Amino acid sequence: MKKCFILSAVVVFFVACGQEKSIQIKGELSGSSGDTVYVQRLGIDARTTKIDTILLDRKGCFAVHYKISHPVFYALTIHNKSVTLLLHPKEKVKVTGDVHHFPFTYNVEGSEDSKNIQRLHFRLEQTKHVEDSINNALQQYVDNRNFVNIRQQFVWDYLREIDSLRAYNIRFINQNPKSLATIYALYQKLSTNEFLFSHEEDLQYFQKADSLFYRRYPEIPHVQMLHNNTLQFTENLRTAKLNNMLYMLGKDAPEIALPSLSGKIEKLSSGKGKYVLLDFWASWSPTSRDYNKILVKAFKKYHAKGFDIYQVSLDQTKGAWEKAVKEDRLIWTNVCDFKYYDSDPVKEYNVENLPANFLIDNEGTIIAKGLRGGELEKRLSEIFADTP
């Protein structure tokens, strides 16, 4: 009986999904003088379907109706500038704004997912504005003899803005797990070929969205794209990890000598005779901060048995670094040269994403790397199994 009930529920679900419902898109765009609005149904891989060409009336108003059986992404385009809408069956959305400032100052009502996309769009535009401001300011120093150092500072400012944008989108994804606008958040681009989410630690967000949306909306092209990309992302990462596992394993750990918070130079080799976890982290990396909790537990449990930690921060200011060390209660060796990814140890150990770690034995040889979650505890329990 239970199996029959489930089958019936599935049939009803798909029948319900197949029923077309009307939607309405209305607009009130001031400043119009006979402007044309193009309505497009958005596909994937930049494929779109133009479904309407509308001439605004004297008040800048328009209204169109369509029938859809599942959520659909639309684009409204004026003067080659577009905004994205995400409409569910039966929704009535109203878009307001000024033709001459479209899409930088528009508002949308009547569709929660379209409103979510508006928020994500405005936050991305803020980052692009910061980038433009940095580029314009940098031009003033082109002839300065310290241009290289000045440019690096501007690069750090831009990277901090990117980190802030990522944090905003991650909060949105975590706080709105059922919103299809998550797809818009995951596929935002910083430039033509640069996606905001493309690192190893980002796979979790793709998997989280895919696991929910592919079961609920398998017929939506954007959900199908997300599903296929997640599978490919997972496979590429698995292959890369297999190749990366062999890099540096069995080799002597290259020396690191950097200043601690007190300014004293601390060497990685000073831990020889103990098992040392070399960990690369940063205060601005949420994944690093979460991993610090695992490190604290491991340090308390195994330090007396011969385990130590040597952390290299990729922070750019002492204040942020010191604050994170205190907040996370990191009582082991912590060093930093404030050079971000340009730090020599980062290049030496081929660190691309945070956190990154290397387990070094008591002879100074790298015996493991990339230990995440319970992997560190498992390895340490094996090493110190016979240690009282």
Closest by CA position to 34, among listed 53, 49, 21? 53
Q: Return the pLDDT at 268.
A: 96
What predicted TM-score, i.e. pTM, was given to this entire model?
0.62
What lies within 8 Å, CB to CB, of 269 at 6+ separation is 255, 364
Closest by CA position to 282, among listed 234, 237, 230, 338? 338
CATH topology of domain 257-383: Glutaredoxin (3.40.30)
Structure tokens at 66: 């369509």
Edge-to-edge strand ranges of the sheet holding 21-30: 61-68, 21-30, 92-98, 106-109
**How many alpha carbons fall within 13 Å on the CB side of residue 252?**
7
Indicate the domain borders of the chain: 19-110, 118-245, 257-383
Spatial separation of the C-alpha atoms in residues 96 and 28, rounded to whole Å: 5
Which CATH architecture describes the domain 19-110? Sandwich (2.60)
Alpha-helix residue ranges (DSSP H) falling in 246-336? 286-302, 318-328
Q: Return the pLDDT at 244.
A: 59
Strand, coil or helix: 157? helix
Give per-10-residue mean pLDDT for the chain (388 aa): 27 48 94 89 75 90 94 93 94 94 91 97 94 91 86 86 94 95 95 86 92 92 93 82 66 93 94 94 90 95 95 93 95 94 88 90 92 89 84
Spatial separation of the C-alpha atoms in residues 33 and 13, rounded to whole Å: 46
Alpha carbon of 353 to those of 3, 52, 72, 318: distances in Å? 46, 45, 35, 21
Inter-residue contact 69 to 18 (CB < 8 Å): yes
Alpha carbon of 64 to those of 28, 32, 71, 136, 315: distances in Å? 12, 18, 17, 42, 51
Q: Return the pLDDT at 47.
A: 64
Spatial separation of the C-alpha atoms in residues 357 and 346, rounded to whole Å: 11
Structure tokens at 344: 């020599």
Q: Return the pLDDT at 1.
A: 25
Q: Is the dihedral of CA 37, 113, 195, 158 positive or negative?
A: positive
